[in-house]
Structure 1
Amino acid sequence: MTHRWLHLRLAAPLVAFGDVAIDHVGPTRDFPAASALTGLLANALGLRREETSAHQALQDRLVFGAMVIRPGRLLTDIQNAKLEKKDCGWTTWGQPDVRTGDTYDSPHRRRRDYLADHDCRVVLRLHDLPEGPDLDRLAEVLDRPARPLFIGRKGCLPSAQLFAGWLEGENALEALKAIGLPGRAFWPAEEGGGTVRDISDMRNWRTGLHGGHRRVSEGEIA
C-alpha cells in the first residue's frame, strides 16, 4: 500500500537534536528524536506544554524516517551563568519576567552541543485515528505556525521552509529514496535492510521523563 509522506527539511546555521543528557552535558545526535518531532509539530499546532495527552497521542501516531543530506560540524557551547535574585528576563508579553528564586552562590555551568550547517530531511506520516490532526493540517501549520519554530533549541532558527512538499512510498525507506538525494539515513527496523540498533528517543509526556526506546535500521541511501 502506497502512503503519502510529509517531507520536512530541518536545516539551520545551528541545530540541536538532543540526545540522552547526563548532569550538565547536553549532547546532540545527527537525527531528530521522536520526542523532538513531537515538540516541533505541537509548537506549530499551538499546543500548550500542559496538554500532555495531546502531545503523547501525537508522538504515538508518528511514523518517520530521517536522512542527513549535509553533515554539520560539531560545535560545543560552554555556558556559565550567575543569576542574581533581582535579575529579570525579556519576554514577548510586554513586561519583564521577574525571578522568584534566590541568588546563586556560584556560576551555573552547562555544556550544550550543536551541529553547524546541518541539513537533515524527514519523511513522516501518522497512524490514522479518528481524533487529532491529519497530515494536511500539519503541512498547513508548518507554513503558518501558531508560534515561532526552532530546531531543537530556541536559538536554532530554520534557514529554509520546513515543509518541503509531499512524497509517496510504501514505507519510510521508499519515501526517503523518493527525495532523490544521497545520505546516511534511518527508518523503522520492521521495514528491513540496514543495520539494526536501538535508540532512546521517546518521551513520556505525562511525566516529562524518558519514555523508552525503539529499534531502527540505519544505512546509506545512494
Structure 2
Amino acid sequence: MTSVLLLRLAGPLQAWGSAARFARRTTENAPTKSGVLGLLAAAQGRERDADLADLAALRFGVRIDQPGTRIRDFHTAHHADSGKAMPLSERFYLADAVFVAGVEGDSALIGQLHDAVQAPAFLPYLGRRSCPPAAPLDLGVHRDKGLLQALREVTWQAGDWHREEVGSHVALDILVDCPPGEQPHATIRDTPLSFDPRHRRYALRGLLTTQVTPPEEGPGRPRPPHHDPTAALRTT
C-alpha cells in the first residue's frame, strides 16, 4: 500500500541547485528531488554517508504555487584554519517562492518521514543552510490518492498578496517523476545516490510536466502561528 506526503516549502530565500560548480552556484526554478530528499534524510537524522536507496525509490513531484523572483548574491568566505580569503562566489536564490512538494511510496516509510518532519533531528532548510523555512512544512499524509492527484487537489498555498496580484483561475505548473516506459518531457540529474561529501553522486531522472487550476480555499492551506525554526538552538 502506498501513501503520499506533501510538504509546503516557503521562505524568504530558497536555492535548489542541480549543477552548481566552483564559484557559480545556480538554482533551479523548483525544488529538486535531491534537495527535498536531503531535507527528509536530515529530518530523520541520517548521516551523510547513509544508504539512500529507499528514499531515491520514492516518486517525487512538485507544484509551483508562487514562482518567486530570482536574485543574485556575491559571497565571500575565509578558510577556517588559515584565515585566507577564499574565491568570490556568485550565488543565486529564489526570493518569496512557495512550492508544494510530494513523495509517494510505501506507507510505512511515508509514515516515518511524516513523523520526522514533525520533529526533525536536524534543522530543515530549503536547499541551502542559509534558507530556513518560514512556516511549518507538514501538509499531511494522503492515503486515498496518488501523487499527481494529491498535487492537483491540495489548496493553493501562495501568499495572499500573490493571489491578489495574479487573480483567480491561475494555471500552476506541476513537475513529477516520469513513470517507467513513458517518454519524459525533460531530464535532470538530481536523484541522489550518495550525499557523502567525499563523493556525492546523482542519477538522471525523467520529468513529466502538466498544469492545474487548484482549489483556492479549503483544507490544506495552513494559517500557522509565529514560527521560528531556530528557537530550539537558543538557550534562555
Using structure 1 for the length normalisation, give the TM-score: 0.78
2:15 and 2:125 map into 1 onto residues whose CA distance is 9
Query: Are 1:201 and 1:213, in contact at CA under 8 Å, matched by a contact in 2?
Result: yes
Candidates 62, 67, 89, aligned match of 1:110: 89
* Greater share of residues in strand: 1
The alpha carbon displacement at 1:17 in A equals: 1.1
Percent identity of the aligned residues? 25
Candidates 181, 191, 199, aligned match of 2:188: 199
Q: Which structure exhibits the higher relative contact order, with contacts defined as CA atoms closer than 8 Å and separated by 6 or more residues?
A: 1
Q: Give CA-to-partner distance per residue, 1:6-31, whole Å, 9 cap, x none.
A: 11001111111112113211111122
Q: Give CA-to-partner distance per residue, 1:47-85, whole Å, 9 cap, x none.
A: 1223x32xx2233222121001011111111112344xx
> Partner of 2:31 in structure 1?
32
2:78 and 2:61 map into 1 onto residues whose CA distance is 41
1:61 and 1:71 map into 2 onto residues whose CA distance is 27
1:139 and 1:107 map into 2 onto residues whose CA distance is 39
Q: Secondary structure at the match of 1:120?
A: strand
> Partner of 2:211 in structure 1?
220
1:65 aligns with 2:56: no
Query: Are 2:23 and 2:87, in contact at CA under 8 Å, matched by a contact in 1?
Result: no
Q: CA RMSD in A?
A: 2.6
Equivalent runs, 1:109-128 vs 2, <5 Å: 109-127=88-106
The alpha carbon displacement at 1:163 in A equals: 0.8
Query: What letter corresponds to residue 216 of structure 1 in structure 2?
Result: L
The alpha carbon displacement at 1:140 in A equals: 1.2
1:115 and 1:33 map into 2 onto residues whose CA distance is 13
Number of equivalent positions = 197
Query: Are 2:4 and 2:145, in contact at CA under 8 Å, matched by a contact in 1?
Result: no
Q: Secondary structure at the match of 1:134?
A: helix
1:18 aligns with 2:17: yes
> Partner of 1:141 in structure 2?
116
Query: What letter corresponds to residue 71 of structure 1 in structure 2?
Result: P
Query: Are 1:173 and 1:191, in contact at CA under 8 Å, matched by a contact in 2?
Result: no
Any gaps of 5 or more consecutive residues in structure 1? 84-98
> Partner of 2:146 in structure 1?
171
Question: Cα–Cα, structure 1 residues 165 and 203, in superposed 2: closer, same or farther, change >3 Å?
Answer: closer
> Partner of 1:89 in structure 2?
none
